[in-house]
Amino acid sequence: MSGILITLFLQSLLMLPPRPAMENPASVTQVPQKLRKDYDKFWARFVAAKDDAKLLKDVDKVLKKQRGFDQALILEGYVGLYRGDDKTAREKFTQALVVSPKNRIAMYYAAELDYAHGEYARASNLYAELQSIDPSRPEVETKRQKSLLLATDSLLRSATRAESENRLTEAEDYYRQAMRIVPNEPVLHAHLADLLTKLNKKEDAAAERKLAEYLSPSPSPARPARVPAADQTARADNLEDLGRWGGDIEVFHNIREANALTREQFALLLVRYFPQVTETRQSRQIISDIQSSSARSEIQAVVDNALMTLLPNHYFEPSAAMSRGDLAAALARLSRLLRVPAGGQPSTVAAPDVSETNAIYAEVQSVLGSGLMTLDDSGTFNFNGQVPGQQALRSAERLLRIFQQAQR
């Protein structure tokens, strides 16, 4: 990513407030008494935004004598952020963490900068540690999950590319790095077993295959067993699924096998396929009934972007079943949010049970015309019909392909 692009990305990612609104590092760790006057002057000059270059020189002079001055290091990191110098900012926040490993300001901005530079595994670790230090910020867990998934996805893509180019030893290393993130995923162990077989590491391959079988879910009356052998595992999951869901792959299985998808499951599905919705909130909405939901951050994101609507009294009803009408509205709105170009059939698709006076007639025509949804077996749209998990996945995957093609 070029320097200009990173700067623009950081501006949108960090959303820096006016300087006076930045948290003073002295409020997190105590400034030594002998440095207090100098630090207060430095902070006042930073807030005033006058001659940052001179400020940095003066701070550096003090740091040469007081290397453990973490507040000054964070102050230099702040200046780097506002000047668009992410390299310096990243360096200073990292140095501050060496001096003060539990400093939540340095930890937060170091994580954000690592994320911006694609260092997703390190960002995830920092977000996790930050959450343990400061649990009052629920958005940090969303950031941790997202960076963890991106780290897994990046490693798996690198492994697949290396394997296709016959760089098998390199591919093995990528797979093993991914396994440190999601160690209990049978799909990953099965793929590694196949690779080790190619490398003629028969004993290691056998061990990985046995582990894949051991980690695969046991059969139950409610759910048939997924065949754990390597040749069958690929049918159940693929590396793209694993990269998208990571350690939550079982949640994906539950969504895929659902006869009637819930609103909570669909919100989670949308965010996993289109993480952009967590970064493009239109307005913060109050939701009264998602405190106990494991997908509360995803629900908040889709509601804030008006992809799904609330019921009276600000209720979302996470466990309620999705309707085909709900699905059509969400997909059409998401298409507009992503600015996916209109395509498909130019003429209207006859849906006898959805008249032009229907409030979401345009949305229904949009999803039918683009192939995101189809009429049911009776030739109607079946507005109130339930949505099987497989159907929602097909719709999400098709919209993702359309979106990706439009970006090329």
Give the model's confidence band at 342: pLDDT under 50 very low, under 70 low, under 90 confident, else very high. low
How many residues are recorded in the chain? 408
Query: What local confidence, expressed as pLDDT, does residue 184 receive?
Result: 80
User: pLDDT of 101-133, one tens digit each?
Assistant: 999 999 999 999 998 888 888 898 899 899 888
User: pLDDT of 64-96, one tens digit each?
Assistant: 988 889 999 999 999 999 998 989 999 999 999
The pair of three-digit structure tokens given for residue 7, joined into one six-digit string: 């700067």
Beta carbons of 280 and 301 less than 8 angstroms apart: no
CA-nearest of 89, 375, 181, 386 to 266 is: 386
Query: What is the DSSP track for 37-69?
Result: HHHHHHHHHHHHT--HHHHHHHHHHHHHH-TT-
Q: Residue range 24-32: average pLDDT?
A: 92
Q: Residue range 339-353: average pLDDT?
A: 70
Query: What local confidence, expressed as pLDDT, does residue 4 receive?
Result: 42
CATH number attached to the domain at 147-247: 1.25.40.10
Within the chain, how many helices (H) and strands (E) appear?
19, 0
Query: What local confidence, expressed as pLDDT, does residue 106 receive?
Result: 95
The pair of three-digit structure tokens given for residue 99, joined into one six-digit string: 């001096």
More confident residue, 406 or 3: 406
195 CB neighbour count, 10 Å cutoff = 22
First vs last C-alpha separation in the chain: 16
More confident residue, 341 or 130: 130
Round the average pLDDT of the chain to a whole number and report it: 85
Please say if the pLDDT value at position 405 is more than 70: yes
The full set of domain ranges for the chain reads 3-117, 147-247, 258-407
The pair of three-digit structure tokens given for residue 13, joined into one six-digit string: 């990612």
Lowest mean pLDDT segment, chosen from 8-12, 133-137, 317-321:
8-12
Query: What local confidence, expressed as pLDDT, does residue 350 receive?
Result: 79
Query: What local confidence, expressed as pLDDT, does residue 234 receive?
Result: 37
Query: What local confidence, expressed as pLDDT, does residue 227 receive?
Result: 40
Q: What percent of the chain has pLDDT over 70?
A: 88
User: pLDDT of 216-239, one tens digit each?
Assistant: 765 444 444 444 433 333 334 677
Lowest mean pLDDT segment, chosen from 217-221, 287-291, 315-319, 364-368:
217-221
> The pTM is what?
0.57
